[in-house]
Structure 1
Amino acid sequence: MTKIDIVSGFLGAGKTTLIKKLLKEALADTKTVLIENEFGEIGIDGGFLKESGIEIKEMNSGCICCSLVGDFGTSLKEVLKTYAPERILIEPSGVGKLSDVMRAVQNVIDEKDVVLNSAVAVVDASKCKMYIKNFGEFFINQIAHAGTIILSRTGNISEEKLNTCIALIREHNDKATIVTTPWDELDGKDILDTIEGAKDLEAELLKEIMEQHEHDEEEEHHHHHDHDHDHEHHHDHDEDHDHENHHDHEHEHHHEHDENCTCGCHDHDHHHHHHADEVFTSFGMETAATYTKEDIEEILKALDDEETYGIVLRAKGMVADKEGGWIYFDYVPEESNVRAGKPDVTGKFCVIGSKLKEDALKKLFER
């Protein structure tokens, strides 16, 4: 039996930290495979996690849900066939929709010995309100479809702010277990037990997702039928299209092709859904330049300036240290971590956000 667990979470929520904790404290003696789907030009998380000796299948793609029903499905089958693992942990992109991931997994696991075991949402308690306000469509989707919601950074906020976060979550999911205790006070085995205790709720949520998808596809089918009928009627009564009509026809054909894609990326015209590429962008580059720890700290502090650099939600990377060794760094708004790390083949960084100003970011990181 292969159990599949999805660990979702918005950008910088702490998915990787939680996964490391589970691997070390709860899954050390099991045959586990981690599958990542990273949004961005450079997949950096894989480098961090390879230190754990865990098999990794990295997929870097700008189109999150297309990769999930296309490349993702193929990769998942390949992992199942090649490794026959006891457990697969899936770490979706921070801007991926949990419902898309759950549906993609369900579409692949037709074998009797594979089960979608759990779907988790990791939520940064200190940024809950801001993310709902600014990126609700993506953030709320992860909350609404999780059987377990694990709050991060709860030890750094007031009780009032924590209660506000819990109340906001309950508006969108009133059944999931919410883990509020700081992670360093919990054993990974206790967290895993809590996650696995939500199987009945997960089955209920997954059923709703699949039924909604079937309903959406049925609506799209009727739309295509009406569209094709109208187009045929138009063609019969107007054989001589002028240039303007020809242009309209090309536009309609492209639109119809998009709707035929089953990934769900292109249905926003009818259901007001947006694909991650429409809202989020990423900027990354490799560099052989050297930096001091103070250089990196100044750079990360500067990223809080939205007017200059756009809305930066996440930055991470590793670069060579002027004084020898390497510097690893992580950033989420108003919070950063800079530390020493092992040498890599080249320096690299990745910035993810909304309305990013790439020229300014490039200038900021160049040395």
Structure 2
Amino acid sequence: MNTDIEIVTGFLGSGKTSFINALVESTLVDNEKVLIIQCERGLREIQKTIIEDKRVKIKLYDAEKPLTEEYLKYALTLYRPHRVIIEHNGTRNLIETLNIFNSKALKKHCKITTIFYISEASVFNFYLDNMGGFLLPAVEYSNLILINNINEVGKEEIDKIHKKIDSINPYAIIIGVKKGESIKAMVQKEKILEEGFLKKLRIFFKNIVYR
């Protein structure tokens, strides 16, 4: 079975875990097995309903260590998931993680399908201006960029964020979330995450192949 890999990246406190909660709630379907690998943990926890769901396994990875090909092969063999969601350590260069999946061994068993970059609106421009070389891959390779608490900055700042993203990655979907607004509701409203009949059909065929 070819396992889908979804990477959620961004600095500590940006809202990665909250987004993962919304991602799983919005996309988990019957007969799907999901493995969540947390390479970093903030104040927010994976919510209880997800932890108690038998379709989901959650593994904590040492934040001090880089993710390795060996660990991923071990996890794929042990848990045999349809999908892996990696809560990426935002202090590590995304390129290092992406390069792991270029190995022949992992290419046979999994592929990166989606990369999400999560950021606070108030620090996005500052971080990109001052740590551009480090942060550039996260913006460049992301399919979806979620900007939290957009109501805490002015329109001019938001316009700058959009212009910078467009100059680096014009194909990324950009979603802005206001403070107090539900990430899950916003994500579902935008209808950008895979769900419903087509996904159930994909999981069904994967299960047949996997037997």
2:126 to 111, 130, 135: 130
- The amino acid across from 1:147 in the alignment is N
- The residue number in structure 1 matching 2:45 is 48
C-alpha contact 2:8 2:86 (8 A) present in aligned 1: yes
Q: Which stretch of the first structure deviates more once superposed, 136-145 or 1-10?
A: 136-145
Equivalent position SS for 2:118: strand
Give the Å deviation of 1:127: 1.0
Q: Distance in 2 between matches of 1:116 and 1:33?
A: 14
Instruction: Tell whether 2:5 aligns with 1:8.
Output: no
Deviations 1:204-247 (A, max 9, x none): xxxxxxxxxxxxxxxxxxxxxxxxxxxxxxxxxxxxxxxxxxxx
Map of 1:311 onto structure 2: none
Are residue 31 (structure 1) and residue 33 (structure 2) matched?
A: yes
- Give 3-state SS (helix, strand or coil) of 1:117's partner: strand
CA deviation after TM superposition for structure 1 residue 76, in Å: 1.1
Which whole-Å CA distance do the structure 1 matches of 2:10 and 2:29 have between them?
Answer: 23
What is residue 161 of structure 1 aligned with on the other side?
Answer: 157
Q: Which residue identity lines up with residue 69 of structure 2 in the other structure? A: G
Q: 1:117 aligns with which of 113, 137, 145?
A: 113
Cα 1:46/1:117, change in 2 over 3 Å: farther
CA distance in 2, matches of 1:168, 1:180: 15
Alignment of 1:178-327 (within 5 A): 178-180=174-176, 182=178, 184=182, 185-188=185-188, 190-193=191-194
CA contact under 8 A between 1:150 and 1:179: conserved in structure 2? yes
Residue number in structure 2 paired with 1:235: none
Query: Where do 4+ consecutive residues of structure 1 move more than 4 Å?
Result: 44-47
What's 2:77 paired with?
81
Match of 2:198 in 1: none
The 1-side partners of 2:42 and 2:126 are apart by 25
Shift of 1:46: 9.8
Q: How many Å apart are 1:156 and its aligned residue?
A: 3.2
Give the 3-state SS of the residue equivalent to 1:192 in structure 2: coil
Distance apart, 1:28 and its partner CA: 5.7
Residues 10, 95 of structure 1: 8 Å contact kept: yes
Matched, 1:173 2:169: yes
Offset, 1:8: 1.0
1:85 and 1:10 map into 2 onto residues whose CA distance is 26
Query: Any unmatched runs of 5+ in structure 1?
Result: 39-43, 195-367
Change in 2 beyond 3 A, CA 1:83/1:188? farther
Question: Residue 61 and residue 156 in structure 1: after superposition, are their counterparts in 2 closer, same or farther (change >3 A)?
Answer: closer
Cα distance change, pair 177–139 in 1 and its aligned pair in 2 (3 A): same
Structure 2, gaps ≥5 residues long: 196-211
Tell whether the 8 Å contact from 2:4 to 2:82 is kept in structure 1 after alignment: yes
Q: Which has the higher contact order (CA 8 A, sep 6+)?
A: 2
Aligned-pair distance for 1:177?
A: 2.0
Q: CA deviation at 1:59?
A: 1.9
TM-score (norm 2): 0.74
1:93 alignment partner, SS class: coil
**Deviation of the 1:61 alpha carbon:** 4.2
- Deviation of 1:90 after TM superposition, in Å, equals 0.8
Distance 1:188 1:138, change over 3 A: farther
Structure 1 residues 193 and 154, CA gap change in structure 2 (3 angstroms): farther
